[in-house]
Copies of this chain bind each other. A is one copy, B any other.
Amino acid sequence: MRKDKRRRLERAGWTVGDAGDFLRLSDDERRFIETKLALAAGLRQWREHLGLTQTQVAERFGSSQSRVAKMEAADQTVSTDLLLRSLFRLGASRRDVARLLSQRPRTRAA
């Protein structure tokens, strides 16, 4: 059961929102999710720092405002791949991204 279930869980992302669920994740899942949250938060910071709206960023990316919103919300339909590309497109360096990753995870509102 484990392997299948685990894989399915990882595939599907995670059950959303609630700290209880969050804490039931295995260590590697937790690290992955923290990474994703850190990138998402970083993207928002970066955008705000540039003084851009989500719509403006979307135009720059050739994407849509809704997708940018989902990125910043670390939505399940958004991959870290997209988050990384987006940060880089906004001018972040690999080192900037590394900094985001090594930061302590912020507790997030449930």
Contacts and interface: CB of A to CB of B under 8 A. Distances in A.
A35 B81 CA distance: 10
A84 B6 contact: no
A75 to B, nearest CB: 14
State the main secondary structure of chain A at its contact with B.
helix
Copies in the complex: 2
A81 B80 CA distance: 5
A28 B89 contact: yes
A94 B35 contact: yes
A106 B79 CA distance: 26
A7 interface: yes
A98 B89 contact: no
Closest 3 CB pairs of A and B: A98-B102, A98-B101, A28-B88
